[in-house]
A and B are shown apart, each in its own frame.
Chain A
């Protein structure tokens, strides 16, 4: 193991890999990425791959929009077919309250330059011909939202970053961290490495990695279940979201329908086992929305842990003023894949150039949480 490096990244998920990629792109190459198992072994390896810009907070809209600008260039930039498709997100409203909220959101999103519209059930049916729109009152649609394959995106970042010099240590768990003068000594079973900067991109395990230098950060792991069907010819373009019932589903590029739901009764835990209640409940939701597909066959169900923050927005930047070189990139609350490009770029800028330049993430630091001054993101499944 290298005895010293400029940056040590904890976590080989989409976030750790994205940050590593942007650091090398900005010229910082002496980086070690620590991954306790294999790349994508955490939340990223369970992810649904949705990329959406239609959020209820300005910060999430900005980050997602910047991410889409970056995703659009990745096929060439990363030289990787990461199965990106831009066929939009269709978000359904079933109640008057939802219609009212959606109107507000669309107005805010438009202010940020997003191409998004409130549309009628008839228009929705045109976009997704197989959709049951009987009880739908309205919908919002943004055509530049889309889907991609999170595993392949992670591999793309990792391949390019390691070509540029980043060292990836698989099966290497960070056990503890020691302060050493202005640096940190990262201890693993396979040896130690002293670094100037640490990035905590440990996903659901972020809290453990923060405890290693004595901080208790307000994030929690939470199981989310998901399933995939047999691959079929593509018949549904956009991701369809139904906040009312807590459902999202899309047809990935290779043809399988991928779908999940939110379960408000799910307690905090690292559990990633599967439950029959999930498949029963989601089958009802899916066949209600898509009666034509009731004979589509479920191939496999699985689960992963979200890393949930109090306001469902990521926590970015230094962990505290006392440890300005220990960076957090955590608490993505179920939308870390789609925010990886913009936040990866921002954290890398912060380390290399002293502050984030491209996207303003000043509202997303630990400070907001300490002060209790934050706006809740509502559009979460």
Chain B
């Protein structure tokens, strides 16, 4: 048994940040990192970082870990590279696996800091498991760590920061990026990253989406299609792109399965990217023995990961009596992290964290570039109303005219923004069918417990049917949850009204839906289980996650459900309409990754 004061799991920026604080307070600290190299995501980031100068801005990611290592007090520190934490058992012992020697070892620690980072999301499209379709992280690892190009002609999916950065890195490494496909009309990533790519001649297919990958043994091409601002696949715009690699940069999700084994509280937060351990501002989880930091505590960026790591280190030290002035020390870091999260991209994280801490959130804190015709919806409002999402001063006022209850005012100056008088709005939804911009959505919080009805003006074929399970998409057209079709109201003017229901937490973001996933869309990669098979099981009545798991074995493959748990929970929610927060999401069990018996036997004597 290895004994230590503090065990840190994960040697990315968060883990290294934590080690700085604990070692400088004289605590014996052990850091395990599953890779042979430290730095987590940093080791792949060849670009310069943003942020404040005092926090490594302008430094390339690949050099930051060295800077961090310098600040760690070596006499109190030991590191085990190539060791992964594989289990936290009921007596608190942490099992670690030495992959080089094939040995299982045990660690007893007073405090554990989990900084295990994130794993990548995927999206459903036809043949999404064909060789040659890689996650952005996989592509980066292959090219920046091993120096092997993933392919010659790359199609990138997603123009967020990661998609843009990895495209740039691919070009730097000598590949040809045949295009970037982005559903939005504009890039989610920073303009500068985009400009960089653009001036190198990479076409960016805004308002496009990928429909299918094709190829015999591996990717030979992709079918993409243009979508209009109503998300309709535009006929005749289908385009085949020749490529040998499709790189998915569609987001990350926190990876803290190992903490789930301890039974600490978890919560689902769309703003933070998925399931995260409930934690306070100083990174302590619901147990005083476990702390969490970095992407594992909600997807953010490297600078805030370092600071969260430091906070976790200070908290852990304080709980061991090694920091008497914790409150004062916290403050500097907390203030900085708040500032970091004020930007357009950080604000989402800030919101997620505020929700976690039950801190009041004022929507005015969200710095969208929009004029202010937003209205505050009183908390208790259950009656249906509309959300008018028309922020540009265009000459237009059918909404005003269409409302028989005089709830919408544009006024004499018809470029003024429409204003809603909530008290007068009856929720009749007639304005939805009249707005030429399809910019008005119905909101009904009283539809079913825990679920919000969203009425969407819809002009696509085929129309869904009541009871269908569909994918709920956000304003960027990104699928964020499943939804259920609650009502289909056809209209003479062909703007039909479709009411879908989603869990309350998605209500603010879902503004579109895609037909339900089916056919060759892989949900559980490990066991080859498709959306169709899951839908069949749901139809047969296996709508409890645990029953579904035992019926189809989904989530029981070697990935322990990392890839599919969230998708499946969404499908259940959509099918049953129930709040599934009471369902167990399945307890991840040790070992974290499959280990051979020989690792446990030390020679194999009876």
Do A and B interact directly, with beta carbons closer than 8 Å? Answer: yes
Q: Which residues of A are interface residues toward B (Cβ below 8 A)?
A: 37-41, 45, 151-152, 155, 159, 170-171, 229-230, 245, 254, 271, 273-276, 279-280, 283-288, 291, 293-302
- Central interface residue in A38, A230, A291, by most chain B CB within 10 Å: A38
**B596, A298: Cβ atoms closer than 8 Å:** yes
Q: A38-B547, A151-B550, A254-B553 are in contact. Are A274 and B590 (CB under 8 A)?
A: yes
Nearest 3 A-B pairs (CB), nearest first?
A273-B90, A151-B550, A283-B600
Which range holds the interface residue count of chain B?
35 or more
Q: A40-B547, A294-B596 are in contact. Are A287 and B87 (CB under 8 A)?
A: no
Q: Which of A41, A171, A287 contacts B597 (CB 8 A)?
A: A287
Chain B residue numbers with a CB within 8 Å of A300 are: 556, 560, 589-591
CB interface residues, B 80-124, toward A, < 8 Å = 87, 89-91, 93, 95, 104, 106
A286 to B87, CA, bound (A): 21
A276 to B95, CA, bound (A): 7
- Central interface residue in B583, B594, B600, by most chain A CB within 10 Å: B600
Q: Which residues of B are interface residues toward A (Cβ below 8 A)?
A: 87, 89-91, 93, 95, 104, 106, 261, 540-542, 544, 546-547, 550-551, 553, 556, 558, 560, 582-583, 589-591, 594-601, 604-606
Q: A230-B558, A284-B606, A287-B604 are in contact. Are A295 and B597 (CB under 8 A)?
A: yes
**A152, B605: Cβ atoms closer than 8 Å:** no
A80 to B474, CA, bound (A): 40
Q: A39-B547, A284-B601, A296-B597 known; 7 other A-B pairs, CB under 8 Å? A: A38-B547, A274-B589, A283-B600, A283-B601, A288-B605, A288-B606, A295-B597
B393 to chain A, nearest CB (A): 52
A159 to B540, CA, bound (A): 9
> 22 interchain pairs (CB within 8 A)?
A151-B551, A152-B551, A155-B547, A159-B541, A171-B582, A245-B606, A273-B89, A274-B590, A275-B89, A276-B87, A276-B89, A280-B600, A283-B598, A284-B601, A284-B604, A287-B598, A288-B604, A294-B601, A296-B597, A298-B591, A298-B597, A299-B558
**B547, A294: Cβ atoms closer than 8 Å:** no
**B582, A230: Cβ atoms closer than 8 Å:** no
**A274, B87: Cβ atoms closer than 8 Å:** yes
Q: A274-B89, A294-B597 are in contact. Are A301 and B604 (CB under 8 A)?
A: no
User: Which chain A residue lies CB-closest to B102?
Assistant: A295
- Central interface residue in A170, A229, A283, A288, by most chain B CB within 10 Å: A283
Chain B contact surface mostly: loop
Q: Which of A280, A294, A299 contacts B594 (CB 8 A)?
A: A299
**B597, A293: Cβ atoms closer than 8 Å:** yes
**A41, B604: Cβ atoms closer than 8 Å:** no
Q: Which of A245, A279, A299, A302 contacts B600 (CB 8 A)?
A: A279
Chain A residue numbers with a CB within 8 Å of B595 are: 297-298
**B596, A295: Cβ atoms closer than 8 Å:** yes
- Give the number of A-B contacts (CB < 8 Å): 109
**B90, A271: Cβ atoms closer than 8 Å:** yes
A179 to B5, CA, bound (A): 57
Chain A residue numbers with a CB within 8 Å of B591 are: 279, 298-301
Chain B residue numbers with a CB within 8 Å of A293 are: 597
Q: A284-B604, A291-B604, A302-B589 are in contact. Are A274 and B598 (CB under 8 A)?
A: no
Chain A residue numbers with a CB within 8 Å of B261 are: 274
- Central interface residue in A279, A286, A288, by most chain B CB within 10 Å: A279
User: Which chain B residue lies CB-closest to A230?
Assistant: B594
A298 to chain B, nearest CB (A): 5
Chain A residue numbers with a CB within 8 Å of B89 are: 273-276
A152 to B552, CA, bound (A): 9
A24 to B90, CA, bound (A): 42
A229 to B605, CA, bound (A): 21
Chain A residue numbers with a CB within 8 Å of B594 are: 229-230, 297-299
**A294, B91: Cβ atoms closer than 8 Å:** no
Chain B residue numbers with a CB within 8 Å of A271 are: 90
**A275, B91: Cβ atoms closer than 8 Å:** yes
A379 to B87, CA, bound (A): 32
A152 to B595, CA, bound (A): 27
A284 to B600, CA, bound (A): 8
**B597, A276: Cβ atoms closer than 8 Å:** no
**A276, B106: Cβ atoms closer than 8 Å:** yes
A92 to chain B, nearest CB (A): 13
A245 to B606, CA, bound (A): 9
B14 to chain A, nearest CB (A): 26
Q: Which of B90, B541, B550, B553 contacts A274 (CB 8 A)?
A: B90
A291 to B104, CA, bound (A): 18
Chain B residue numbers with a CB within 8 Å of A171 are: 582
A202 to B529, CA, bound (A): 33
A296 to B541, CA, bound (A): 35
A285 to B601, CA, bound (A): 9
Chain A residue numbers with a CB within 8 Å of B583 are: 38
A76 to chain B, nearest CB (A): 19
Q: A301-B589, A301-B590 are in contact. Are A294 and B551 (CB under 8 A)?
A: no
Chain A residue numbers with a CB within 8 Å of B551 are: 151-152, 155
**B601, A38: Cβ atoms closer than 8 Å:** no
- Central interface residue in A287, A288, A291, A295, by most chain B CB within 10 Å: A287
Q: A275-B89, A296-B596 are in contact. Are A280 and B104 (CB under 8 A)?
A: yes
Chain B residue numbers with a CB within 8 Å of A296 are: 596-597
- Central interface residue in A151, A280, A291, A298, by most chain B CB within 10 Å: A298
User: Which chain B residue lies CB-closest to A149?
Assistant: B550
A86 to B551, CA, bound (A): 21
B3 to chain A, nearest CB (A): 15
Chain A residue numbers with a CB within 8 Å of B582 are: 171
Chain A residue numbers with a CB within 8 Å of B556 are: 299-300
Chain A residue numbers with a CB within 8 Å of B91 are: 275
A282 to B600, CA, bound (A): 9
A291 to B590, CA, bound (A): 23
A299 to B593, CA, bound (A): 7
- Central interface residue in B89, B546, B590, B597, by most chain A CB within 10 Å: B597
Chain B residue numbers with a CB within 8 Å of A288 are: 604-606
A302 to B588, CA, bound (A): 10
A283 to B93, CA, bound (A): 18
User: Which chain A residue lies CB-closest to B106?
Assistant: A276
Chain A residue numbers with a CB within 8 Å of B601 are: 280, 283-284, 287, 294
Chain A residue numbers with a CB within 8 Å of B560 are: 300
A230 to chain B, nearest CB (A): 6
A274 to B587, CA, bound (A): 11
